[in-house]
Structure 1
Amino acid sequence: MIERTRTEHERMTSASGLNGKVDLQLRQARQARQGATALALAGVLFVAYPALRPFSDEVTLQGASAFGSMAWIVSHVTAVAAFILLAVGFLSLYVLLQGTSVEGPAWRSVLLSLAGIGLTLPFYGAEVFGLYAIGQEAIRQQRVELMELASVIRFGPGFLMIVVGLLLLGASTVFMAVAVLRTRLMYRWTSILLAAGFLLYVPQYMGSQPLRIAHGLLIAVGCIGIAMGMWRHTQSRP
């Protein structure tokens, strides 16, 4: 009687453990799909940013009109959202790869991306709202000399922050590419495109609008390709 009770208890414990494992796998798969969606959306927004951003000479009242436009705010807020969604995507990718042989580089990618994005976003905040205020005031006063303040904002202490932040983010995408290339994720080669895109992020600032849109497309292909691989990978799990 005692032996039968013990056997039934062990069977129930085993079934409970199995159900718990299945529940965990289902939750991880759901989180991975959500992260894949965020990563794909980030890619789209990295293209939308330069496409929506007004480009001008930035030294005349025409430049002031660009700074002071609603398109200036919308485009830069789009970029901020892209960086945030990128962090969500990287974190979800780490969760998907947790417990595998590439967990180490995936985790380092998350840490570097959070540090890099944290240093990058304050510059975008100054760029969107600071330059918007300058543009509005220059137009109101019809004083083109106010446009000189744009360089003060861009190349002040915040410039070093964004350079370091983007370098850290570039390193993050390299670790991410190393991790993804060692997995069986579909379209894993697109991780190379994403890493290349972020390693070129600082130089692309000096390009024209078409060049910057092309750069955004490079990042978008990388983000969407990895997202598709994450989504397909979850289909093979419960």
Structure 2
Amino acid sequence: MRNLFCLLLTFIASTVGFGQTPDKNTIGIIKLNLTSLLDETTFPTINVSLEKKISRTGSLTFEAGYQIYSIGNSADTSFVNNRGFKLAFEFRHYLNQKDVAKLTGYYIAANIFQRSNQYTEDLMYSLQQEKDNPNQRLEDEFVVKKSVTGLNFVLGKQSNPTAKTWLKKYKGLSKIFIDPYIGLGIFYRQVKNERREFEEGKHERYKSRHPNAYDIFASSGLAENTGFRPSLIGGIRLGIML
């Protein structure tokens, strides 16, 4: 499925990038996703996207990201290099036709995404009959490989704030765009584990007294959590018109 997804994205990006005749109606904006740089819910990446107009009220965006560092990983031993990537394409429909020519204003969008990553996780556990004995704690360090494919429905508002201020006289600054967005959808997460000793049903995990982000993140790395999940996204992109 991942290979088909990558092939589809490549085809669409090529079509949008080279299949149109450049004219006054062809607009492109290259953007950096500021939120993805500090994304603790999945993994931090440098996400760069290109948005191009494909119709009177619509545009298509291709986005790609690569993991730049790791967070939330407390394992002492690393069995694999922590790495990951994100791919997505988004079809937008702008609601205010007066702003469509400049790709600004409110929009709704369908965003199809794929992300994959791998890392070493650790957790503390015990035999179920020894779960109340702190002297029987065991530690397991194992490999986590995740692959996620999903669909989000997005609402956002893209603006070109500098175009209406004194900054517009500076050619470079007048082309800056801000793109905040929120979205809701669903994804399918496939998780594989390697070198794992912990077994659900046989062992008891040690968790914090109060729910926290670490416990949630560690749980998502268990192969038992493969399946469909709801998706909630939000963020902001900073772009410049080409």
Category of TM-score, reference length = shorter chain: under 0.3
Compare the two structures and name the one with the higher helix fraction.
1
Higher relative contact order (CA 8 A, sep 6+): 1
TM superposition score normalised by structure 1:
0.24
TM superposition score normalised by structure 2:
0.24
Structure index of larger Rg: 1
Compare the two structures and name the one with the higher strand fraction.
2
